[in-house]
Amino acid sequence: MSELSHRFSGTNFTPFWPETVAEKPDFPALMGSVECDLAIIGAGFTGLWSALKARERYPNARIVVLEARRLANAASGRSGGFAAPSISHGVVNALTRWPDEAEKLVRLGRKNLNEMEADIQAYGMDAEFERTGKVNVARTPWEAEGLRAMQAGYARFGIKTDILSPSELAARFNSPRYPAGLYEENYAYVNPAKLVHGLAQSCLSRGGMLYENSKVTGIRKSGAGLRLNLATGEVHARQAIMATNADLPILRRLRSTIIPVYDYSIMTEPLTDAQLAAIGWQDRHGVADFGNQFHYSRKTADNRILWGGYDAIYHFGSKRDAELLHRNETYARLEQNFLDTFPSLSDVHFSHAWGGIIDTSARLTFFTGTAYGGRLAYALGFTGQGVTATRFAAISMLDQLAGLKTRHTELRMICKWPAPFPPEPFRSLAVRWAQADLAREDRTGHRSLFLRLTDKLGVGFGS
């Protein structure tokens, strides 16, 4: 591992967000045999929204959530907390992959964010939800052109965005690295760990049951329902939801639909008003850069800056390993890019640094489906935009389990699986090839033949 600079002396190499949660109760591990109407495997956003929405539909149902680790320990508690008004990994992705369905996807994505905000308020969750907008920034002339194309894509659906003049951009985000910007008003943020705990509390206070350190190791049909095996017990459920995200899917047939991609963040100590004024970042909007290798950045409630993204690391064999959640090489690259972006902040220290695993699908969006004769529903493939889409996916899965045909289940984006990733060693080769070409496109503005071919096939690589 490479050495880190003095800015990382005293850094906590753990996610920041869980530290902000005042009460983190320990939940028991499941012991023995339990019966329920609905068992939910995984207690991230997907699993917990599923539990809460199931509770709203079926107030008397026995709902059990089984979490392999602790709450907020996986992607949901490690995310940037960008809450997109989108279920399709953005407007441009919807237009590119589902042109006939794009209008519906865009409309449903915006509605989902509104409903999520309403749920957070109705349940009294302290998730630090704030709809403070996003500045998309560009480094090069071709990225600035991309911002204009993005604006045109939004305009097709009546969504207003503003290309920022140099002085308007400097008033929001003053960086020598990014000469161009586009502001979108309808973008929100949450404290992701607080949202996880808020969802869990909302479920529990309405009679749901939650077990931590309770990994489901196998599923099989049993009578009219399902039997879920755990090391310390078993659950007999009428129906189940699999919400296990980037972990190796329990259902073998799903294993090639996603790959685990590691994404990392660093976070500054709280900045002073003078430091924020120096970088022109007094408002509370987030920032994302337009490149293929992009950063995302936002403020916390106490004015730290989260700076994440850029590297998206895939390991041969789809390796999933807790040790890979730290990568000094990436922390150092994030630091360098941070300093290039904010030269006036060269004296900051980073209070936290951490990584997380993204369940990348070859079209960057989730899909849902059922197994075991409709007794189990699953949703996965959220890639790097699951903070809001997971809520939509939860409702889709409940509709599917109920055998309903709704606007949640009829979408082609949802029903059709993404193209599978090839087996190794082709998988690693394809990812490396795509990454090299995406980086070259960032440098030169030219899209390679290989990327144009994958575009035509409707597949891609991203985070």
Which residues sit at the interface with ligand FAD, rule CB under 6 A? 41-47, 66-69, 73-76, 78-82, 84, 215-216, 243-247, 250, 263, 265, 296, 356-358, 382, 384-387, 390
Joined together, the tokens standing for residue 357 give 């695993």
Pick 384 or 462: Cβ nearer ligand FAD: 384
Q: How far is the CB of 251 from ligand FAD (least distance, A)?
A: 11
Lookup result for tokens 């911002």: 147
Contacts by residues 10-14 (CB-CB < 8 Å, ≥ 24 positions apart): 10/349, 10/351, 11/349, 11/350, 11/351, 11/352, 11/353, 12/351, 12/352, 12/353, 13/326, 13/352, 13/353, 13/354, 14/352, 14/354
Range 276-307 burial, b when 16+ CB lie within 10 A, else e: beebbbeeebbbbbbbbbbbbbbbbeebbbbb
Q: Are strands 188-189 and 209-211 parallel, antiparallel or unpaired?
A: unpaired
Pick 144 or 394: Cβ nearer ligand FAD: 394
Pick 244 or 275: Cβ nearer ligand FAD: 244
Q: How far is the CB of 366 from ligand FAD (least distance, A)?
A: 8
Q: How far is the CB of 243 from ligand FAD (least distance, A)?
A: 5
Q: How far is the CB of 375 from ligand FAD (least distance, A)?
A: 17
Pick 338 or 382: Cβ nearer ligand FAD: 382
Nearest to 240 by CA among 414, 62, 366: 62
Q: How far is the CB of 440 from ligand FAD (least distance, A)?
A: 25
Report the residue number whose CB is nearest to ligand FAD. Answer: 386
Q: How far is the CB of 136 from ligand FAD (least distance, A)?
A: 14
Q: How far is the CB of 150 from ligand FAD (least distance, A)?
A: 18
Q: Are strands 305-309 and 350-361 parallel, antiparallel or unpaired?
A: unpaired
CA distances from 184 to 29, 133, 134, 136, 154 (A): 44, 6, 5, 8, 10
DSSP code for 135: E
- In 8-98 the beta strands, taken as DSSP E runs, fall at 32-41, 63-66, 82-83
Pick 250 or 371: Cβ nearer ligand FAD: 250
Longest dimension (CA), the chain: 67
Nearest to 144 by CA among 112, 111, 166, 172: 166
Q: How far is the CB of 141 from ligand FAD (least distance, A)?
A: 27
Q: How far is the CB of 265 from ligand FAD (least distance, A)?
A: 6
Pick 144 or 354: Cβ nearer ligand FAD: 354
**Rounded CA gap, 421 and 391, in Å?**
26
**Rounded CA gap, 308 and 303, in Å?**
16
Q: Are 262 and 355 in contact (CB under 8 A)?
A: yes
Q: Are 127 and 198 in contact (CB under 8 A)?
A: yes
Q: How far is the CB of 320 from ligand FAD (least distance, A)?
A: 10
Q: Is 392 exposed, middle or buried (0-12, 13-18, 19+ CB in 10 A)?
A: buried
Pick 116 or 150: Cβ nearer ligand FAD: 116
Pick 391 or 437: Cβ nearer ligand FAD: 391
Nearest to 298 by CA among 146, 389, 187, 462: 187
Pick 186 or 448: Cβ nearer ligand FAD: 186
- Give the helix/strand (H/E) hosting 46: helix 45-57
Write phi, then psi, for 424 (nearest 5 degrees).
-70, 150
CA distances from 199 to 124, 204, 457 (A): 10, 9, 38
**Rounded CA gap, 106 and 89, in Å?**
10
Q: How far is the CB of 400 from ligand FAD (least distance, A)?
A: 16
Pick 146 or 356: Cβ nearer ligand FAD: 356
Pick 144 or 243: Cβ nearer ligand FAD: 243
Joined together, the tokens standing for residue 94 give 């919807």
Pick 65 or 451: Cβ nearer ligand FAD: 65
Q: How far is the CB of 40 from ligand FAD (least distance, A)?
A: 9
